[in-house]
Each structure stands twice: as structure tokens, then as C-alpha cells.
Amino acid sequence: MTDPILQVRGLRLGFPSGKGHVQALRGVDLELRRGEVLGLVGESGCGKSTLARAVMQLARPYEGTVLLEGTDLGALGERQLRPLRRHLQMVFQDPYASLNPRMSIGDILAEPQLAHGLLRREEAGARCAELLDMVGLPAGAAHKYPHEFSGGQRQRVAIARALALGPSVLIADEPVSALDVSIQAQIINLLQELVARLNLSMIFIAHDLSVVKHISDRIAVMYLGRIVELGEASAVIETPRHPYTRALVASIPVPDPARQAPAPEVLSGDPPSPLAPPRGCAFHSRCPRALERCRTEMPELEAASDKGSCACFNP
């Protein structure tokens, strides 16, 4: 087992709203090992993107720590944090919204390197061509603008920009959810290739387990601001322990009509509101296995086997 390059401990983060205070993260513990891909899955609104932004320090948590190679990012001011940002980069969900439409691709790729003093202006053209080649785009793309590309090509540009500073950790926040299925496969294959070639560590966020299982070494399952299951990808997919994970796995389409799909876990009711999360286990109101103690006690994420952990009293 390799040492963790990124450690998240007890992360809590909320946002004010017109109806109260949204508890987006409710004590998240997570580790990313060197050279691994950690898949983070969960339904919309569970806090995946908020966790990514908190790790990046784009939204500052009010409790907990984020350690990048032992350095507590939350304890640093903006000036101290700036040189470390090059080591922790992010690919956003919508490539069109994350690229400046007024800048050429060459300028988009050169800007972060110039800002960090890693590049002289006269070196920008060669470095840009190198980055574009890395993500499968021609050097001539540097003179074009984001609107001249397809969604998949724009996401390749966004990946190139994230790699421009030579990061050690990459956070991909649903990078394929806005793309066609055939293009999704191309981007996933590209990310797998880059992780191996550049020795990156990556958190890959999605709400679709069928996508995550192909790229991840381990998978963390998130529900209402907490991690409820964490383990090796094969173990989480083949022998899920948490009832919510079993429901997610059962929802994966089986393309072979000769194969029997697993019997789905029947979930009743709607997800609880993060404005007023229930006492005890947040999943108990929908769980077919809920015990009486689930209504009053919150289960901790504990080792369920040598291949994973689960936060459930009745797995």
C-alpha cells in the first residue's frame, strides 16, 4: 500500500440559503494514494462537487483538514496557497463554461504557466503544441477559440490546461457527463493513459457507477454529505455492502440479454433535505434494512473486510 498523497479529515462545509443552512459536507474522511484513481459516486446533490471544491480550497470548509503531501491547505492564506495550487488541478464538468470564450486555445494553455512563472512568452508556442499533442489535438488548434470545437474536443483542451502546470493530483468533476456515450469512452481512455504516463493521482467524480468502475482503483460512495462505503473497485461493484451502494449497483444497465441483472434494492421515499438531515443514519428513511438504532445513531465508516469499509449497522 502506497502512502497517501492527499488526506481529507472530518471535512464539514455548509452554505446559507433562503430557508436555512445547507449542510453540504457532514464529516468527510478520505485518502488518495499515490498513482491511484479514486472514484467518487453518488446521486445528484450528495456533495461530490462540493467536496471537490473544498479539497481545491475554492470553498473553504469551516471544520476539518485537507493535507496535500502533509501540508494543511486550510491553514494557509491565499499568498501561501498559490504556489501549491499548481500541484492540485481540476477538470470541470462543462468544458464550454470553464474555458474563456474570448481567449484562443494557445492563450488558455499559456496563461496558468505564465502566471506561475514556469514559462517565458517565447516558449509558449512549443509548450502549447506539446500539451495539445498529449490530449490528441493538432498543434493548429492553438489558434482557434473554444466555440470552434466539439464538446469532446473542448474537454480535451480543459484536460490539457489542467496538466499544464504539471500537477501531482487531478480532480475530474464529472468530466464526461455532458458528452455523448462514444465520446465519454474516448475521454475516459485518455484520462487512464495520462494517469499512467504522468504518474498522476486522480479523484474521478461521477454519478454513474458503470463509468467509474472502468477507471477506478478504489471507489468511495457518498450519500448526503458523508462517505457510506469505500473499497477496492472490484469489491464495491461485485460485493457491495451498504444498501445504498447495492441500489446503485443494481441500477447499472446489463447490455447482455442472456445475463440476469441483480435484483434491485427497493428504496422507498425521497432523499432527505440537506437543510434538515435526519438524526442517526441519513439513509434510514429509505433503507429496506433499517434497524431501530439507525434512527438515532449515526454509523461510522469502519472496516468491513480487508478490501473496504462501510458505514452501516446492518450491511
| Residue in 304, 127, 313, 138 with CA at minimum distance from that of residue 231 | 304
State mean pLDDT over 187-200.
Answer: 94
Determine contact, residues 264/247, Cβ cutoff 8 Å.
yes
State mean pLDDT over 125-141.
Answer: 95
Q: Percent of the chain at pLDDT above 70?
A: 97
Q: Is 82 in the same domain as 116? A: no
Domain contains 129: yes
What single-letter DSSP state applies at residue 82? H
Q: Is 70 in the same domain as 30? A: yes
End position of a domain, from candidates 114, 147, 164: 164
Does the pLDDT value for residue 265 go beyond 80? no
pLDDT, the chain, mean: 91
pLDDT per residue over 118-130, tens digit each?
Answer: 888 888 889 999 9
Domain contains 30: yes
Determine contact, residues 308/230, Cβ cutoff 8 Å.
yes
End position of a domain, from candidates 147, 164, 181: 164
For residue 93, give the amino acid letter: Q
Instruction: Kindly report the CATH number assigned to the domain that includes residue 8.
Output: 3.40.50.300
- Range in 27-31, 94-98, 255-259, 311-315 the model is least confident about: 255-259
Determine contact, residues 61/44, Cβ cutoff 8 Å.
no
State mean pLDDT over 29-54.
Answer: 94
At 289 the pLDDT is 87
Domain contains 290: yes
309 three-class SS: strand
Q: Model's pTM, two decimal places?
A: 0.93
What is the C-alpha separation between 39 and 51, in angstroms, rounded? 13
Does the pLDDT value for residue 26 go beyond 60? yes
At 96 the pLDDT is 87
The C-alpha cell that represents 200 in the structure block: 498522476
pLDDT band per the 50, 70, 90 thresholds, residue 274:
confident
Q: Is 30 in the same domain as 102? A: no
At 261 the pLDDT is 60
At 1 the pLDDT is 56
State mean pLDDT over 107-136.
Answer: 92
Q: Is 178 in the same domain as 300? A: yes
Structural domains in the chain (count): 2
Q: Is 14 in the same domain as 61? A: yes
Does the pLDDT value for residue 256 go beyond 80? no
pLDDT band per the 50, 70, 90 thresholds, residue 266:
low
Comparison of pLDDT for 110 and 95, the residue scoring more: 110
Determine contact, residues 135/156, Cβ cutoff 8 Å.
yes
State mean pLDDT over 150-166.
Answer: 95
pLDDT per residue over 195-253, tens digit each?
Answer: 999 999 999 999 888 889 889 999 999 999 999 999 999 999 999 999 999 988 888 77
Q: Is 216 in the same domain as 276? A: yes
At 214 the pLDDT is 87
What is the C-alpha separation between 284 and 268, in angstroms, rounded? 10
Count of C-beta atoms within a 10 Å radius of residue 184: 19
Using DSSP bridges, classify how beta strands 302-305 and 308-310 pair: parallel, antiparallel or unpaired: antiparallel
Q: Is 296 in the same domain as 241? A: yes
For residue 313, give the amino acid letter: F
Residue with C-alpha cell 481545491? 56
Q: Which residues contact 256 (CB under 8 A, 6 or more apart)?
A: none
At 242 the pLDDT is 94
Determine contact, residues 201/5, Cβ cutoff 8 Å.
yes
Q: Is 68 in the same domain as 176? A: yes
Domain contains 272: yes
At 260 the pLDDT is 65
Domain contains 315: no
At 19 the pLDDT is 79
Does the pLDDT value for residue 63 go beyond 70? yes
Domain contains 21: yes
Comparison of pLDDT for 268 and 122, the residue scoring more: 122
At 263 the pLDDT is 61
Q: What angle do CA 178, 96, 197 make, to 5 degrees?
A: 75
Q: Is 192 in the same domain as 140? A: no
Question: What is the domain range of residue 117?
Answer: 96-164
Q: Which residues contact 279 (CB under 8 A, 6 or more apart)?
A: 295, 296
Alpha helices in the chain (DSSP H): 48-55, 78-85, 95-98, 105-115, 124-134, 151-163, 181-198, 209-215, 233-238, 243-250
End position of a domain, from candidates 125, 142, 164: 164
pLDDT per residue over 279-310, tens digit each?
Answer: 999 999 999 889 999 999 999 999 887 779 99
pLDDT per residue over 77-87, tens digit each?
Answer: 999 999 999 99
Q: Is 57 in the same domain as 192? A: yes
Comparison of pLDDT for 105 and 178, the residue scoring more: 105
Q: Is 278 in the same domain as 201? A: yes
What Å distances lie between residue 89 and 96, 105, 222, CA to CA?
17, 18, 22
Q: Is 251 in the same domain as 117? A: no
